[in-house]
Amino acid sequence: MTPPGRQAPGGGPSRRGVFLERRTYRRRRMADAAGLLPLIGAVLLMIPLLWQGGGVTKTSHVMFYVFGIWALLAVLSALVSGILDHDRHADADADTDTRAQDKNDAPPPPGTMG
Amino acid sequence: MNTHNLLILICILYAMLLFAVAFAADRAARKGRGAWLSSPLIYTLSLSIYCTGWTFYGAVGFAARSGLEFVTIYLGPTLVMVGWWWILRKLVRIGRSQRITSIADMLSSRYGKSNTLAVFVTVFAVIGTTPYIALQLQSVTLSFAVFSGQDPTGMTIKNLQQPALWVAAGLVLFTILFGTRNLDANERHHGVVMAIAVEAVVKLLALLAVGVFVVWGLGGGLNGTLQTIDASELAEWRVPGGRWVGLTMLAAAAFLCLPRMFQVLVVENQNEGHLRTAAWAFPTYVMLMSLFVVPIAAIGLKLLPAGSNPDLFVLTLPLHGGQDALAIVSFIGGFSSATSMVIVAAIALSTMVSNHIVMPIWLRLTGGSLMKSGDVRGVALLARRFSIGAIVMLGYTYFHFSSGGAALAAIGLVSFAGVAQFLPALIGGLFWRGATRLGALAGLGVGFVLWLYCLFLPSFGAGVIVPVSVMADGPWGISWLRPYALFGTQGMDPLIHAVMWSIMLNTAAFLAVSIVTFPRPVERLQGAQFVNVFEHSSRAGHWTGGLAQSEDLLIMTQRILGPEEAQALFSGEARRQGLSGYLPEPSTEFIERLERELSGSVGAATAHAMVSQIVGRATVSVEDLLAVADETAQIMEYSSRLEAKSAELARTARQLREANDKLTQLSEQKDAFLGQVSHELRTPMTSIRAFSEILRDGDDLSRTDQQRYSSIIHGESLRLTRLLDDLLDLSVLESGRASLNAQEGVLGDVLDRAVAATGGSGPEFRIERDPAAERIVLHTDIDRLAQVFINLISNARKYCDAPEPALHIDVRDEAGALRVDFIDNGSGISVPDQAVVFEKFVRIGQTRSGGAGLGLAICREIMNRLGGDVSYLPGQRGAAFRVTLPHNLRIAAQ
């Protein structure tokens, strides 16, 4: 019996190339975008606080701004989620890949997800 | 009819509509036509319980008092939802893989299935939510009051407590009816979710309708409204930065931690993919909910007399404009918001109370001694129903005693701040493996005390609970401990002050104690599984320590899930393992799966405790520790795989040994049978020969002797024929040459016949039956079926060793098949004998009667020929046999 080490299916990072397949790469970047969205949203929604410095800012203007950003966030979120969803259907994503192998094999060593 | 009565009528009609919707959805789901019920859209709409009566009415009031600041309450959840990839995706994945039932279960499960933590979180959640339920009842009452203000008969606030009580009672009824249908909290409450989705649409449309009317009907169009806003006291944009940021963060935290939100976000989630839709649909929903808030506030301030309550502008503006119908629509919107919140909050809290407080106490008190199928399930459901009533009534009591007080208005944010205390332990548990149980307890404790001291108790007003002197100068005159100015931080907004200190010190205590304490193995294991949920397959604790008795596990599972589900689960697993019958091999995987299934019903901590009662201590195997310790992974992994393989080999060897034993046993039995048959054939033969010789040679036999001897010969040859008939019958059945004589008959008649043929029911042998359930028309070979029943009943009569033998015949008509169970109260059949009881020539135990051991073998062959089955049913008190008839045998029930 050969020791099931890094050569085993679902194995470690050494098996995975430096460059990812184009689709996987795009998916990763979309995931990054999904993670970035709330940060962008938070920053944009803080901006009106800076307008209080000099002179009087009208509530109605801020209202337009806030609701505009709100709609923008919803649209961006729909786009990003849509692309992530599309990719998920297009090819088996990395998560389910390893998970599928888990069932056949003993669990992979932790931290194999690059 | 006056307005008051009209409103009551409308409320009742609306409630009836909700009951009908919930009932229809439940029915559709049970009939398998409910695919659309688990669509992402319904999921998104169910999230709208975030918008409660407090937000429906209160948002406008909030805006009238402090302008645009109210949107922070919606912006926080928007950011969380837009950022689903970070937190919600992980929460939902964990919730599904660990079968989490509530936020308390989540924290308890993460920190080593600790029940202490769960109890703490539950108590905290109940304290934080009760005032919130009171707030919903108040919003309904106030909206009633608005209409009765129009009513010439006039109503006082006191009279209006009556509707609040009725509303509370109706909510309890609805929640109990549709919220406790199934014990498994992970199973979706289709009726409730559907009703909530309808309410979500109603409240959105109501608010939009009022908004459109106010802007275009009263405000003079878009430009006119904008001018009104610019001219009003809200015109200037001045929001304290601290409150803007602080409230957004608070709302975001509460969105994740509120028990009711956790219920709809995580527990009721059916599909992770639904988050993708909710990620944009929910922000859109709350945006629409808040679109018209500022216009309504500004126009209300302009048009309505000074001093009118801005919280009720949504109602009073349409009334002011003479639009009574619109006001009623708006009233229904507010009613929807309030009721849906109370329903879900009651379900979430009752699950927590029953799983983490009532069940552990009950199990400890009874010591698990009451062993009856479904008894735990019954207690859990009862506890849940009582908790629902208690929680809603607690809310009503709170409302009753603080009625009309200003304290209630502020309680929404106070409640948010309370549940936000769960956040450090929750987020820390999701992303940091170093978080420990003691850390979580310390953080929660500190946060809870500070929240009580700085926010909750003072919120009743100075001098009510906290003395005025303490508010002004601090306890014992220590000014650094003043509730609103802790550590000398003066001049802050009290809410932001309390949130800042409680969350900050909560987090600090959580981190510090986590760093200095050492987690137990189960904690480390759970920690690794939560933090790395996307990398690991979901595997909870590891059970070793000898093979548990499958039968004991089955008995326990029957207590929790009820006999049907438990037997289905066990036989399914047995089939998966390639075994027949109801008892699977108690492999590690199976026990883990079983524990997860059970935790879906009674929570992780209780399920863990109950399984370990039977299986013994849970140990953390090398394989699991691997997940905890990254170091030296290679070698340890190799050895652990070897270990797993050898365990597997041991199991296989055991199975082989068992098969071999069975074969040996069978061969011995066959030999014994041949001997038996020869003996059985020889004994009558000998006597036939002897007596025929006497008849042949004896000339001087009297007439009576001749008759006696020939009747002995006749009797013996009958016995021979019977034996040969049985053998022939069996061989014909086995070879499949037996012809069936299908005819129609009623099951009850067949059973009557069988009971009569075996000597009937009497004091020496009692047979319990349910004639109502037996009125089923069958189309099958009635004689053959009767033969099977006769055999089973006469076996029970022969072998049941109870002092007062009784046989219970249980007929159950299920979706797939008709089941007839024959359960006696004797000592049953031992596990090794269960495996061979249907084999030919087998006689269990000492042979008391002269059967050849062919009866059950013939029964099985007959049932196979009829397309059904007969099997031994373990886990009952005595011997139990189950006859299964396929559905197509029945024509129709009468």
Contact at 8 Å (CB) between B864 and B788?
A: no
Cβ separation B239–A49 shorter than 8 A: yes
Of B234, B534, B638, the CB nearest to A59: B234
* CB nearest A59 (choices: B83, B235, B537): B235
Q: Which of B340-354, B416-430, B760-774 has the lowest mean pLDDT?
A: B760-774
- A114 in contact with B, Cβ within 8 Å: no
Instruction: List CB contacts of B23: < 8 A, sequence separation 6 or more.
Output: B178, B191
Q: Does A6 score more than 50 pLDDT?
A: no
DSSP B728-748: HHHHHHHHT-PPP--EEEEHH
CB B690 within 8 A of CB B821: no
Please write the tens of the pLDDT for every residue from B700-754. Answer: 778 888 888 888 888 888 878 877 887 788 778 777 777 777 888 888 888 888 8
Q: Note whether A103 contacts B537, CB cutoff 8 Å.
A: yes
Task: Evaluate whether B542 touches B624 at the Cβ level (below 8 Å).
Answer: yes
**What's the pLDDT at B368?**
55
Separation in Å, CA B638 to CA B535, B633, B647, B854: 19, 8, 14, 52
Instruction: Report the percentage of chain B scoring pLDDT > 70.
Output: 86
The hierarchical CATH code for the domain B636-735 is 1.10.287.130
Contact B335, B581 (CB under 8 A): no
Contact indicator for B517, B552 with CB cutoff of 8 Å: no
Q: Report the residue of chain B nearest A50, measured CA to CA.
A: B241
DSSP 3-state of B544: coil
List alpha helices for B32-87, DSSP H. Answer: 40-47, 53-66, 72-82
Model confidence at A5, pLDDT cuts 50, 70, 90, reads: very low
Amino acid (1-letter code) at residue B526: Q
Instruction: Map out the domains of chain B as residue ranges.
Output: 3-8+40-359+389-404, 437-517, 521-630, 636-735, 743-893
Q: What is the mean pLDDT of chain B?
A: 80
Give the per-residue pLDDT at B420: 92
Instruction: Please report the pLDDT score of residue B514 as a whole number.
Output: 93
Task: Count chain A–chain B contacts defined by CB atoms under 8 A.
Answer: 149
Residue type, B837: V
Query: Which range, B445-449, B462-466, B576-580, B884-888, has the best average confidence (pLDDT)?
Result: B445-449
In the block, tokens 């319990």 appear at B768
Angle CA A48–A49–A50, to nearest 5: 90
- Contacting residues of A for B81, CB less than 8 Å apart: 77
Please write the tens of the pLDDT for every residue from B276-288: 889 899 999 999 9
Give the span between the Cα atoms of B393 and B363, in whole angstroms.
26
Report the SS3 class of residue B824: strand
Measured between alpha carbons, how far is B679 from A19 in angstroms, rounded to an integer? 82
Q: What is the CATH number of domain B743-893?
A: 3.30.565.10
Domain boundaries of chain A, sorted by first residue: 20-95
The mean pLDDT of chain A is: 66
Sign of CA dihedral B509, B419, B109, B91: negative
Written in H, E and C, the secondary structure of B467-517 is: CHHHHHHCHHHCCCEECCEECCCCCCCHHHHHHHHHHHHHHHHHHHHHHHC
Contact B284 A74 (CB under 8 A): yes
Cβ–Cβ contact A58 with B under 8 A: yes
- Best of B276, B427, B589, B649 to disrupt the A interface (most A CBs within 10 Å) is B276
Instruction: Tell the burial category of B692 from Cβ atoms under 10 Å away from its Cβ (0-12, 13-18, 19+).
Output: middle
Tell me the pLDDT band of B446, cut-offs 50, 70 and 90: very high
Q: B821 forms bridges with which residues in the sheet?
A: B810, B882
Q: Cβ distance A63 to B294 under 8 Å?
A: yes
CATH topology match: B3-8+40-359+389-404 vs B636-735: no
Task: Give the model's confidence band at B605: pLDDT under 50 very low, under 70 low, under 90 confident, else very high.
Answer: low
Helix (H, G, I), strand (E, B) or coil at B810: strand
CA of B283: which chain A residue's CA is closest? Answer: A74
- Nearest CB to A45 within list B75, B226, B280: B75
Express each pLDDT in B218-239 by its tens digit.
888 888 888 888 887 777 777 7
* A67 to chain B, closest Cα gap in Å: 7
Given an 8 Å threshold on Cβ–Cβ distance, is A110 in contact with B75?
Answer: no
Q: What pLDDT score was predicted for residue B378?
A: 78
Of the candidates A42, A81, A102, the beta carbon closest to that of B79 is on A42
Q: Number of helices and strands (H, E) in chain B?
A: 35, 10
Q: For position B892, what pLDDT does the model report?
A: 45
Q: CB contact, 8 Å: A7 with chain B?
A: no
Of the CATH numbers 3.30.465.10, 1.20.1730.10, 3.30.1330.10, 1.20.58.1180, which one belongs to the domain with range B3-8+40-359+389-404?
1.20.1730.10
- Contact at CB, A4 and B291, closer than 8 angstroms: no
Task: Please name the residue of chain A whose CA is at the shortest distance from the CA of residue B295.
Answer: A60
pLDDT given for residue B226 in this prediction: 84
Determine, for residues A58 and B230 on separate chains, whether the beta-carbon distance falls below 8 Å.
yes
